[in-house]
């Protein structure tokens, strides 16, 4: 992945922006990859600004932190539109947990890219039911580069693309770690969902 705007064959061309999306399941290394790219941009002496949703305070109120405890300073924002005001003059904008923003995130990223900013967004592509999550599908459609990373299925050891919720909650958004989610492959995810369905039906019959 290139980290600097490329030259225009000797011509004086405007700075070019683009959108990169890093997506996958829980525990797949999305944030780790985001931090790696942002650190490389910093080494290249580019002006970097990093944002995350204000509701995500699992590891740190301000820092973006990976499951491996790597971290980078960020600015928590309640809504995506605030990034347009705060990212002025930035060469690179990083956004973590993109799925927690509303659909306006797509327009914000497009506006940033159109004014010459490299935008890197990390987030879950599917929710705990295996359905497209928030603005991520639309963002993947307009992005120049999409990287799908994978975890390891905790049940069988195969490549995992799904986030299986083990916690007893049906809320769309449930912040949690290994106590709330497991990375699973498609067959193990489907088996788990079937087991949940049978268990819920049994509970309903008892009541």
The DSSP result for 76-134, as a single string, is EESSTTHHHHHTTT-SEEEES-GGGS-THHHHHHHHHHHTT-EEEEEEESB-TTSSB-T
pTM for this prediction: 0.84
Q: Span 148-177, mean pLDDT?
A: 85
Which of 102, 91, 114 is CA-nearest to residue 139?
102
Is 32 a residue of the active site?
no
Looking at residue 104, its pLDDT comes to: 97
Cα separation of the two ends of the chain: 56
Q: Span 52-68, mean pLDDT?
A: 60
In angstroms, rounded to a whole number, what is the distance separating the alpha carbons of residues 160 and 152? 5
Residue with more model confidence, 124 or 1: 124
Please report, rounded to a whole number, the percentage of residues in the chain having pLDDT higher than 70: 79
Answer yes or no: is pLDDT of 27 > 50. Answer: yes
Looking at residue 61, its pLDDT comes to: 47
* Dihedral over Cα of 31, 35, 41, 46: its sign: positive
Answer yes or no: is pLDDT of 6 > 80. Answer: no
Residue with more model confidence, 111 or 202: 111
For the beta carbon of residue 10, count every other beta carbon within 10 angstroms. 6
Answer yes or no: is pLDDT of 161 > 70. Answer: yes
Residue with more model confidence, 203 or 113: 113
Looking at residue 200, its pLDDT comes to: 74
Looking at residue 69, its pLDDT comes to: 46
Tell me the two tokens of residue 69.
């405890």
Q: Span 68-75, mean pLDDT?
A: 68
Position 73 confidence tier, pLDDT thresholds 50, 70, 90: confident
Tell me the two tokens of residue 163.
């986030």
Homologous superfamily of domain range 18-149 = P-loop containing nucleotide triphosphate hydrolases (3.40.50.300)
Catalytic residue among 62, 97, 195, 200: 97
Beta pairing partners, 64: 72
Q: Span 70-84, mean pLDDT?
A: 87
Answer yes or no: is pLDDT of 113 > 70. Answer: yes
Q: Span 25-50, mean pLDDT?
A: 95
């Amino acid at each position: 992945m290139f980290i600097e705007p490329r030259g225009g064959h000797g011509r004086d061309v405007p700075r070019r922006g683009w959108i990169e999306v890093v997506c996958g399941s829980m525990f797949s290394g999305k944030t780790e990859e985001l931090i790696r790219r942002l650190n490389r941009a910093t080494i290249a002496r580019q002006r970097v600004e990093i944002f995350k949703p204000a509701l995500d305070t699992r590891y740190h109120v301000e820092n973006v932190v990976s499951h491996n405890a790597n971290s980078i300073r960020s600015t928590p924002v309640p809504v995506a539109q605030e990034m347009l005001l705060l990212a002025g003059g930035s060469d690179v904008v990083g956004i973590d947990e993109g799925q927690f923003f509303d659909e306006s995130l797509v327009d914000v990223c497009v506006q940033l890219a159109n004014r010459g900013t490299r935008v890197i967004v990390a987030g879950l592509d599917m929710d705990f039911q295996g359905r497209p999550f928030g603005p991520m599908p639309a963002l993947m459609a307009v992005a120049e580069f999409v990287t799908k990373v994978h975890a390891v299925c905790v049940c069988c050891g195969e490549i995992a693309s799904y986030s299986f919720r083990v916690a007893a909650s049906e809320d769309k958004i449930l912040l949690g770690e290994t106590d709330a989610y497991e990375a699973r492959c498609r067959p193990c995810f489907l088996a788990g969902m079937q087991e949940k369905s049978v268990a819920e039906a049994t509970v309903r019959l008892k009541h």
